[in-house]
């Protein structure tokens, strides 16, 4: 293994455990981590807790506000829209929603000039806060400045870089890929499983412990192909799994393979069948069509469930891809992405 060093960002100095339902943390691939043919990685298949801060304050919608005169007004309508990112208020840079709330609260009702990023363009927009019957000032904008959840780590390379999920994390309200400034990985445990059935995909539920002693990596990028970053030395030492070669697309074929995932605290390989290999559908996260055949996994989960996205797919002793989606009408089937595209 190559020598590697890194610094762990210590942004959170508290410890808090949160129980979360694992949804499909449903991603422009900007980190090149696949160097050349013959590279080796560790196919992980373990659950990870994810916390990410947005790159700006994300607008998820606008709403009407009841003014002091008893009339409803919507000051932000047609001025900002879902998917915008607020970067500044009256020329002052802001990063967190609490800063925005404080500035609007102290505005005295005078015009607010918001600096926003929209589709990679930065512009200033003006609106007037509404004075409410409580003497407060509101812009009628719903915002978010972070996102969190649980997913599955796909691989770690010899430099301590990781890839997870096989698809990006999108905002639950806008459906847009979340632009992030940074993020962290935390230790987590799967606590319960809801089996999938036709028309109703199952899910996993787990516990994330947020705190400096539980942090196990940093997230640098949220892309259409997954989330990427680095793991801590302690986390890498705890993985204790074999290294395998990374397969190229032309090595992948229909037939038997396995997916590696963690259920009930146990990491296991479960047999699947690759039904289709669609090399022409580059980066659409549905390049592989697979079906679970292992009776153990079918008994536990009913097949592919929400939260298994990122589970590594291994064939002929090589890592070939990652699970990305479940077919809603048939939980025994799902889709995957080529590892070559995920790591590009």
Domain segments of the chain as ranges: 16-53+149-343, 64-139
May I ask the CATH class of domain 16-53+149-343? Answer: mainly beta
The yes-or-no answer on residue 39 being catalytic is no
Tokens of 268: 């296991």
Residue pair 103/129 in contact (Cβ under 8 Å)? The answer is: no
Q: Which of 39, 146, 269, 294 is catalytic?
A: 294
- Coil, strand, or helix at residue 95? coil
pLDDT over 70 at 3, yes or no: no
Choice among 47-56, 179-188, 284-293 with the minimum mean pLDDT: 284-293
**What percent of the chain stands above pLDDT 70?**
88
- Tell me the mean pLDDT in the region 323-328: 90
Sheet of 188-194: strand order equals: 16-22, 203-210, 188-194
Taking only the tens place, the pLDDT of each residue in 120-175 is 899 999 999 999 988 899 999 999 999 988 889 999 998 999 999 999 999 888 88
Q: Which of 107, 157, 167, 341 is catalytic?
A: 167
**What percent of the chain stands above pLDDT 90?**
65
Better-scored residue on pLDDT, 11 or 185: 185
End-to-end CA distance of the chain: 21
Domain 64-139 has CATH 1.10.1740.10: no
Tokens of 297: 């996994």
Q: Which of 170, 203, 214, 309 is catalytic?
A: 309
Taking only the tens place, the pLDDT of each residue in 186-226 is 998 888 888 888 878 888 888 888 888 899 999 999 999 99
d(CA 221, CA 228): 5
Taking only the tens place, the pLDDT of each residue in 293-313 is 999 999 999 999 988 999 999
The yes-or-no answer on residue 107 being catalytic is no
The yes-or-no answer on residue 253 being catalytic is no
């Amino acid at each position: 293994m190559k020598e590697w060093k890194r610094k762990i960002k210590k942004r959170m100095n508290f410890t808090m455990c949160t129980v979360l339902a694992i949804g499909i943390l449903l991603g422009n691939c900007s980190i090149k981590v696949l160097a050349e043919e013959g590279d080796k990685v560790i196919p992980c298949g373990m659950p990870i807790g994810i916390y990410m801060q947005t790159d700006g304050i994300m607008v998820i919608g606008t709403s009407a506000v009841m003014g002091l005169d008893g009339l409803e007004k919507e000051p932000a309508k047609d001025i900002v829209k879902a998917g915008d990112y607020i970067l500044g208020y009256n020329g002052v840079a802001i990063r967190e929603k609490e800063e925005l709330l404080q500035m609007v609260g102290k505005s005295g009702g005078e015009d607010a000039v918001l600096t926003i990023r929209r589709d990679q363009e930065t512009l200033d927009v003006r609106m007037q806060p509404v004075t409410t019957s409580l003497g407060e000032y509101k812009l009628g904008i719903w915002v978010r400045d972070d996102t969190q959840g649980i997913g599955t780590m796909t691989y770690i390379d010899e430099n301590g870089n990781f890839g997870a999920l096989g698809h990006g994390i999108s905002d639950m309200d806008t459906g847009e890929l979340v632009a992030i400034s940074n993020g962290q990985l935390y230790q987590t445990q799967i606590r319960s499983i809801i089996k999938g059935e036709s028309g109703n995909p199952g899910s996993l539920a787990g516990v994330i412990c947020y705190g400096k002693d539980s942090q196990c990596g940093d997230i640098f990028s949220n892309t259409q192909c997954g989330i990427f970053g680095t793991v801590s030395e302690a986390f890498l030492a705890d993985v204790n799994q074999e290294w395998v070669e990374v397969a190229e697309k032309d090595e992948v074929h229909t037939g038997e393979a396995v997916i590696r995932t963690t259920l009930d605290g146990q990491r296991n390989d479960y047999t699947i069948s690759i039904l289709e290999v669609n090399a022409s559908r580059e980066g659409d996260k549905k390049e592989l069509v697979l079906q679970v055949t292992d009776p153990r996994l079918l008994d536990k989960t009913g097949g592919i469930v929400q939260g298994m996205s990122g589970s590594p797919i291994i064939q002929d002793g090589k890592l070939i891809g990652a699970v990305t989606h479940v077919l809603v009408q048939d939980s025994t089937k799902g889709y995957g992405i080529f590892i070559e595209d995920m790591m590009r």
